[in-house]
Structure 1
Amino acid sequence: MDSNVFSAERLRAVWNEWEIRMLVLTSLALQVFLLFFAGIRKRNVSAVLSLLLWLAYLLADSIAIFALGYLSQTPKGVDPQFFERTHSIQAFWAPFLLLHLGGQDTITAFSIEDNELWKRHLLSLLSQVALAVYVFTKSRPGADILAPSVLMFLSGIVKYGERTWALKCASMDHLRSSMVTTPDPGPNYAKFMEEYRFMREAGLHAEIVIEQERRPEVAAVDIAEESVPYTTIVTDASRFFVIFKRLFVNLILSFQERTRSQATFLRLAPDQAYKIIEIELSLMYDTLHSKAAVIHTWYGRLSRCMTLLSTSTACLLFNVLDRGKYQSYDSTDVCITNMLFAGALCLEVYAIGMMLISYWTYAALQGCNCQSLGSLIFRSIKYFRPESRAKWSNLMAQHNLFSFCIRDKPTMLTKALSLLGLKGHWDSWLYIRHIDVSPELKILVFRELKDKTVSIVDAESYRKFSNHRGQWALQCKGYYKELGWSVEVEFDESILLWHIATDLCFHTDDEDDDKDNAKIAQYVKISRAISNYMLFLLVARPFMLTAGIGQIRFGDTCAEARNFFEREMTQPDERAAARMVLDVNAEIAPRDVKGDRSKSVLFDACRLAKSLLELQPHKRWRVIRVVWVEMLCYAANKCRSNFHAKQLSSGGELLTVVWFLMAHLGVGEQYRIEAGHARAKLIVEKN
């Protein structure tokens, strides 16, 4: 019994001695993790990585704040002499905790909503700095650590201030206000009209002539595609980013900006056009989720130099000038202090290196005409960020209705998850997969948008094409009369109709036509990829589509499909299930037979599939393919900009890439100013 009490007391004493040490070292470890892994999430869709980063992001602040609070108290059960000997150097860790609260360059906000809380972070900055100063002064530090402490306080306050300022700069209100152009009152109307009146009163013939500003020529249809070097891609991306980032805050662009963008993109090969967009979206991610908007300014670079200099000087003062002064401190605490110094310096040097080899730095040097230094930076960028590496995940999620209905079985687990409201997350983990966005799909989208761009002749055409979600494709192919009904219904209904019809056509044998099998296989692959992706958006990302009842319609369709498949003694596979559906006589519209209480579209899709199966295979899949591309572009154009911005931190979304490509090619609703700026001239003639 006595030995147990002795062991418990000893264990408690050891914990009291090491508690603050473990907290400080954990805080440092979290900062290292965030620096090295936070930037990966813009190229990764892993839910595990996202969860770990979320936990690290939340714990990093909580542990640092808790450690500061711990240092401000006198722990119970600690030997007073030991506390007096250790607390002075442990209080020196307070500015390091401020440094940790300042966060890393790679992550300031986990989600875009965090940026709106910058005022809360400002209050936290003031309170935590005050607490750190209180902790340090309470310990009555000696003159030996006073100078290093002041320098570390300087670094910590600057770092924490950087983070707060970065959050403010990335808030939507600040972004929008910073992008609003300077107010333009236009020509002096009162003065102009006064001159006009004087001329008329003087008996002169005065006439006002309005001259429209000359519009740049729109790119011609037969412009040949050019292959440009990587330097041009990076330069164009940095130049366009300054203009097109306004789309994320719902600001419109002018026709001049549309024409300049078209002139560039219509000449580019598809893969290079996508590279420009990837870099632009990467820069936007940096703006919203990192310190890029702050550190890539003159004051940001100055603060970087200041924090590096002050931290290294503090380390030098603590370790080199007079080591004998620190013999009175606990050797373990001295070792931990040196670990904190080493961590702070390594993180600072690494962050500066990342800053130097960024697109931001190269763009700034291009603006300053520093060709030699810019060339050196670009070679580093090309090595560490090669052109071949995607700047986003380059993945598209896949969800299939038939596969889901066949595999999803009610169990005790799924019932429990439904009660807890977690069934959707379980389904996403179990039934949604990701595939690479194929080069063929990218090229197809680019060519279709390019064809639309060069066929547009006026402002009304831009709006008309951006509102098509299959109509234009069916009209061009000559099948609108037979199939147009399927794209005139609500958008979520169109997605389900064409998704099921695509699967039904896929699972139908076409062995009787062996011609152009390779080309047909490519059409099928692209069509099914977009089909499954659009269903994923409908089920898991409904906020990215137009308002509707897509999830209700999906649930009703799944319920009808399960009931229908239960007619078989054995559970059918996807091909057998498709054949069962196609065997149903669907001459009369299902709504006319069973009413519209259920929103299921299973057998409406069967009618659509039977109409498609009447076409030759190559014609059928060409129609399906172009309809899906048009639906994809419509969804991208109609998605609100803040939802596009939100997906940048989750590996990116194909829908966002398509949206930005449409904006660059001038197809969309982002342009409102269609006429040139009028310039009035006063023509005076003698009578």
Structure 2
Amino acid sequence: MVEVEWWKLHWATWDLRGVILFSLFLQTILIYLAPLRKRVSTAWLTTPLWLAYLLADMTAIYGVGLISKSQGETTRGPFANPRYPTLLAFWAPFLLVHLGGPDTITAFALEDNELWLRHSFGLVSQGLFVAYAFFQSFPNHKFWLPTLLIFVSGVIKYTERTRAFYLASSRKFKASLLAKPDPGPNYVKLMDEMKSNPRLKKIEWAPESTRVIRSRIEEDSKKLPDLKVVQVAHQYFSVFNGLIAGSIFSFRERNLTRDFFLKRTARDAFKVVEVELNFFYEILYTKAKVVHGMVGYLLRILSSCLNFATIVIFYFIDKKEFEKFDVGISYSLLLGAIALDLTAWVMILHSDWIVVTLTKSNNPNWFIEILKRLLKVEKGRPKTPGKPRCFSLGIMKIIRRRWSKSVSAYNLLNCCMHPRAKWLEATIDIFGLTNMLDGMEYVETVKFTTDLRNLIFKELKMKSELADTLEIAKEIFLARGDWILKFESRKDLRRWIKEVDFDESLILWHIATDLCYYTNEVNENVNDGGNPMNLATMNSFSEDIKDYCKLSKLLSDYMLYLLIMQSTMLSDVAGIGQTRFRDTCAKAKRFFREKEIMKEEKICSLGISNFGKCFCGNVSDCCNKCSSKWEKEQDKLQKQACEAILAVDTSVEPFAVKRDRSKSVLFDACMLAKELKTLERWSMWEIISKVWVELLCYAACHCKANTHVAQLNKGGQLLTLVWLLMAHLGLGDHFQIREGHARAKLIVKK
């Protein structure tokens, strides 16, 4: 019986040591990996980070409980050892520091911020437990001073995290944006004066001048340096952070931002928006709003000084009576706390917030000037090489970008041509893994290209230039492809948008784009109205057609990905998109099966799976060549499928046959594709690309603001960048642009 009790005590001792070291390991993982989640959109990062985030709090709380329990057992049990309580009491405050978490992550998801009250209770309860463990070790606690210092540091850290949750919660965030109540002009006094003085006859509102606003933002159209990008982004972030809370802005804010962005290039406009979204991310998911401020800097300096003082005091205390392993754990905790603190300081000093803080002062003192020179603030950040030549440069390229710079693509016809076996589909459906495996198998990640960026900005800029009045801006905002068709004098195609729901038009144009893309004659002689062209002009048109083809195809697959795989982003306009998609897939699968185009085993003759990798598992050049062959085989199969669909006689409307029994739009899309193919190739692809940009803009404007910012911790979405860019260009329902705003001066004529 005594031997069993000894093993229990021995296991409890090693259990506690393991928990403490594991807690330190989790903090290291979080501080270094958490910043990558806004730059990389992959489950291989988010899943381990999610596990570390959940385990970090659980491990620290469990460790505090073990310390309290172990102290009681070692002081009162038959195997009492007076050495353990002293060290355990010294370790306990470090778990409070770990509960404070790193600066790089407070909330894993937006909903975590709403739990600030729970974290407040955790701060009080865990602080009391650690204090209890501290006082329980008296009077034989020779490390009381370093323990007290670390305890204060832990309380500061945990308080910072709790306050970050509170400030980012929806209710507090909205309340912080509310302006001071404005009662308006004194109506009673005014009417009394008019009644007492018969010479007062008329009341007029003086229009509010925007000259001051315009002169403050007057900029030339030169390329913006990196420092200017950060400054401008923070300026607009300070004005437009109310977008998250659904605030309404006046014509002054509209003029402030619209005039600026109309003078910018696509590169500069997107860079400003990327940095601005980075500010949104940091106030919602990190400690930035708490740390970056005079009080925050002072508390962080105090916390760092306490950590350094603790290790110095601990070093000079005699520790010969303690086991070397326990002393080693103590040093590991101390050095770990200092290393994490130094890492946090490096991140603070190299953040966009510190750049804004150091450059916004009109009368900087000597200390600010020294910091600016040491951090090279005025010179901006070093440029990233265009093409990384080694692994380290590739890592640096990822670290310096502000979002994933990629879009996800999901193709309906490809999904239908490579279905899973029925038994496999039924099996994974039981465990609810269908959506996850679809994302792994059928979703492709494509780089966000410069051509796509330029196309989107060109269309938005053109619409913003035309939207001088509220009526035109509202018409553009509500358009989902039909406005550009009217502008292009293609009213015959508008029925495929105006007469159908948004989700139906999206699937229609997605399939039609594929049908045109895979049956497009790229080398066709392009002409304009029958006029002959020289070879150089024809080659130029051919290249433009190829660009429009690729961009249309990319936007088409991205929009379907949003509708099917990110349905929450399009919840307000998705309608019965899921049902329509499933019925269309069922129709396509039956058609391909009858035409013997698809293969049930979803494995091609090259021995390559749908993941585009060889079964050998290598990533060598040999497998890359096999993957290239696989892509060519896929294109050939896609072309065969599209030609088979276009060969179907659609002289009778599909609705006359299927009625409302099925929501499939496969052959409706075939009719649309045939209409598009009657146009010249140049005109066809230009129209298709513009329709997709307008559908993208419509979806961006009709996605809820909190849904947009919820994607920032997953690498971000192109849809979110478009949403913010449209707001800056004055396109959206965020503005009240009537003259005679409530802040205008009241003029009374005699």
* Residue of 105, 126, 129 corresponding to 1:128: 126
Q: Work out the CA distance in 2 between the residues paired with 1:134 and 1:378.
A: 47
Q: Work out the CA distance in 2 between the residues paired with 1:296 and 1:74.
A: 40
Other-structure match for 1:185: 183
Report the CA distance shift for 1:553/1:218 in structure 2 as closer, same or farther (over 3 A). farther
1:357–1:380 CA contact under 8 A, matched in 2: no
Matches within 5 A, 1:187-206: 187-200=185-198, 204=199, 206=201
Counterpart amino acid of residue 524 in structure 2: D
Other-structure match for 2:203: 208
* Residue of 507, 516, 528 corresponding to 2:553: 528
2:348–2:354 CA contact under 8 A, matched in 1: yes
Other-structure match for 1:396: 407
Q: Work out the CA distance in 1 between the residues paired with 2:12 and 2:568.
A: 50
The Cα of 1:216 is off from its aligned counterpart by 5.2
For structure 1, which segment, 496-505 or 591-600, has the greater mean C-alpha deviation from structure 2 after superposition? 591-600
Other-structure match for 1:595: 659
Counterpart amino acid of residue 476 in structure 1: F
SS at the partner of 2:81? helix
Counterpart amino acid of residue 289 in structure 2: A
1:486–1:497 CA contact under 8 A, matched in 2: no
Q: Which blocks of at least 5 consecutive residues in structure 2 are unaligned?
A: 387-399, 527-537, 600-636
Q: Work out the CA distance in 1 between the residues paired with 2:276 and 2:683.
A: 37
* Residue of 87, 93, 117 corresponding to 2:115: 117
Are 1:362 and 2:355 counterparts? yes
Q: Kindly provide the CA deviation profile for residues 412-467 of structure 1, in whole angstroms up to 9, marking residues without a partner as x.
A: 33211112221111111111011111111111111111111111231111111001
SS at the partner of 1:585? coil
Q: Which blocks of at least 5 consecutive residues in structure 1 are unaligned?
A: none
Other-structure match for 2:708: 644
Other-structure match for 1:233: 229
Aligned length: 670
The Cα of 1:17 is off from its aligned counterpart by 3.1
2:410–2:444 CA contact under 8 A, matched in 1: yes
1:16–1:75 CA contact under 8 A, matched in 2: no
Q: Work out the CA distance in 2 between the residues paired with 1:178 and 1:195.
A: 38
Report the CA distance shift for 1:647/1:367 in structure 2 as closer, same or farther (over 3 A). same
Q: Work out the CA distance in 1 between the residues paired with 2:113 and 2:598.
A: 50
Matches within 5 A, 1:21-170: 21-74=17-70, 80-81=78-79, 83-140=81-138, 142=140, 144-170=142-168
The Cα of 1:636 is off from its aligned counterpart by 0.3
1:116–1:167 CA contact under 8 A, matched in 2: yes
Other-structure match for 2:749: 683
Are 1:352 and 2:345 counterparts? yes
Report the CA distance shift for 1:584/1:166 in structure 2 as closer, same or farther (over 3 A). same
Q: Work out the CA distance in 1 between the residues paired with 2:300 and 2:90.
A: 22
The Cα of 1:214 is off from its aligned counterpart by 3.0
2:403–2:715 CA contact under 8 A, matched in 1: yes
For structure 1, which segment, 478-487 or 358-367, has the greater mean C-alpha deviation from structure 2 after superposition? 478-487
Other-structure match for 1:563: 590
SS at the partner of 1:566? helix
Q: Work out the CA distance in 2 between the residues paired with 1:440 and 1:155.
A: 50
Are 1:630 and 2:694 counterparts? yes
TM-score, length-scaled by structure 2: 0.86
SS at the partner of 1:117? helix
The Cα of 1:119 is off from its aligned counterpart by 0.2
Q: Work out the CA distance in 2 between the residues paired with 1:328 and 1:156.
A: 27
Q: Work out the CA distance in 1 between the residues paired with 2:565 and 2:493.
A: 31
1:112–1:288 CA contact under 8 A, matched in 2: yes
Q: Work out the CA distance in 2 between the residues paired with 1:513 and 1:610.
A: 20
Report the CA distance shift for 1:496/1:618 in structure 2 as closer, same or farther (over 3 A). same
Other-structure match for 2:565: 540
Counterpart amino acid of residue 277 in structure 2: L
Q: Work out the CA distance in 1 between the residues paired with 2:174 and 2:128.
A: 33
Matches within 5 A, 1:130-529: 130-140=128-138, 142=140, 144-200=142-198, 204=199, 206-215=201-210, 225-320=221-316, 322=317, 324=318, 326-369=319-362, 370=364, 372=369, 373-374=371-372, 376-379=374-377, 382-383=380-381, 389-510=400-521, 511-513=523-525, 515=538, 516-529=541-554
Other-structure match for 2:633: none
Q: Kindly provide the CA deviation profile for residues 543-579 of structure 1, in whole angstroms up to 9, marking residues without a partner as x.
A: 2111401111100000000011111245382111111
Report the CA distance shift for 1:526/1:209 in structure 2 as closer, same or farther (over 3 A). same
SS at the partner of 1:144? coil
SS at the partner of 2:747? strand
2:86–2:141 CA contact under 8 A, matched in 1: no
The Cα of 1:310 is off from its aligned counterpart by 1.1
Q: Kindly provide the CA deviation profile for residues 349-368 of structure 1, in whole angstroms up to 9, marking residues without a partner as x.
A: 11122112211122122332
Counterpart amino acid of residue 157 in structure 1: V
Other-structure match for 1:579: 643
Are 1:609 and 2:673 counterparts? yes
SS at the partner of 2:143? helix
1:262–1:665 CA contact under 8 A, matched in 2: yes
Counterpart amino acid of residue 171 in structure 1: S
TM-score, length-scaled by structure 1: 0.93
Report the CA distance shift for 1:213/1:486 in structure 2 as closer, same or farther (over 3 A). closer
**CA RMSD, aligned part only?**
2.3
Report the CA distance shift for 1:197/1:227 in structure 2 as closer, same or farther (over 3 A). same
Report the CA distance shift for 1:416/1:312 in structure 2 as closer, same or farther (over 3 A). same
Q: Kindly provide the CA deviation profile for residues 118-157 of structure 1, in whole angstroms up to 9, marking residues without a partner as x.
A: 0000011111111111112222253521111111110011
For structure 1, which segment, 439-448 or 562-571, has the greater mean C-alpha deviation from structure 2 after superposition? 562-571
1:215–1:676 CA contact under 8 A, matched in 2: no
Q: Work out the CA distance in 2 between the residues paired with 1:648 and 1:205.
A: 57
For structure 1, which segment, 404-413 or 426-435, has the greater mean C-alpha deviation from structure 2 after superposition? 404-413
Other-structure match for 2:624: none
Q: Work out the CA distance in 1 between the residues paired with 2:275 and 2:514.
A: 35
Report the CA distance shift for 1:217/1:88 in structure 2 as closer, same or farther (over 3 A). closer
Q: Work out the CA distance in 2 between the residues paired with 1:383 and 1:485.
A: 48
Other-structure match for 1:620: 684
Q: Work out the CA distance in 2 between the residues paired with 1:385 and 1:149.
A: 45
SS at the partner of 1:435? strand
Report the CA distance shift for 1:76/1:238 in structure 2 as closer, same or farther (over 3 A). closer
SS at the partner of 2:204? strand
For structure 1, which segment, 520-529 or 361-370, has the greater mean C-alpha deviation from structure 2 after superposition? 361-370
